[in-house]
Amino acid sequence: MLSRVGVVERCRVLQSRRAQHEEVELVHTKEHVEFMYKLESMDEEELQILQESYKSVYLHPKTNDCALLSAGCLLQVVEEVWQGRARAGVGLIRPPGHHAEPDQPHGFCFYNNVAVAARHAIHNLGCQRVLIVDWDVHHGNGIQHAFEEEPRVLYVSLHRYDHGLFFPSSEDANFDRVGRGPGEGFTINIPWNKVRPHTHT
């Protein structure tokens, strides 16, 4: 579709790369990264049993490799823009990332691509402030939890909420969750409530 409307021809396509241990560990625990690498040596039966212990996750021996490529590609885009070699960029990447928590996969997400890119921009590139606008039907619980106490990152999420009933079904997605400590006020949730709660007369 992008090629058909001429977008690809107007862009410079970057070479893919895998994110490194130290890059994903800007957001994720060492234990989580080690867990991801262990997937490579598991057979199909082991992976199917393991994935049942997580919420909406499918596992494969190549899951870690795909997730590292996804995160690494976004880091490439951020570096190109930050260093002035591009005015803007877009990462067309899978698997996604915004549900991945610092210590576990969640909701089809394994490494939190956007959170890793934001931390990379701050810690390795010298960026002073980052704005993340997460416009998706689902709340980006993993991004919010990564930056709840971080005043250098303003996280704005627009998502379906249904009074806490819609995936990922957490009250952390409500409008009153605004960050903690030094990050208070730097989380902005805009929940859409399609279903009205039952009322009694």
Contact by Cβ (8 Å): 188, 154: yes
- Residue 99: pLDDT band with limits 50, 70, 90: very high
Q: Examine the domain organization and report whether 19 and 106 are in the same domain.
A: yes
**Into how many domains does the chain fold?**
2
Contact by Cβ (8 Å): 100, 109: yes
Q: Examine the domain organization and report whether 143 and 98 are in the same domain.
A: no
Q: Is 6 left (phi over 0), alpha (psi -120 to 50) or beta?
A: left
Q: List pLDDT tens digits, range 106-136.
A: 999 999 999 999 999 999 999 999 999 999 9
Total-model pTM: 0.92
How much of the chain, in percent, has pLDDT values that exceed 90? Answer: 94
Q: Examine the domain organization and report whether 182 and 167 are in the same domain.
A: yes
Query: Rounded to whole angstroms, what are the CA distances from 98 to 54, 107, 138, 142?
Result: 15, 9, 9, 5
Active site residue 99: yes
Q: Examine the domain organization and report whether 35 and 111 are in the same domain.
A: yes
Which residue among 80, 103, 128 closes a domain? Answer: 128
Residue type, 77: V
The range of the structural domain enclosing residue 99 comes to 1-128
Q: List pLDDT tens digits, range 23-55.
A: 999 999 999 999 999 999 999 999 999 999 999
Q: Examine the domain organization and report whether 118 and 143 are in the same domain.
A: no
* Catalytic pick among 28, 32, 98, 99: 99
- Residue 39 CB: number of other CB atoms within 10 A? 21
Residue type, 147: F
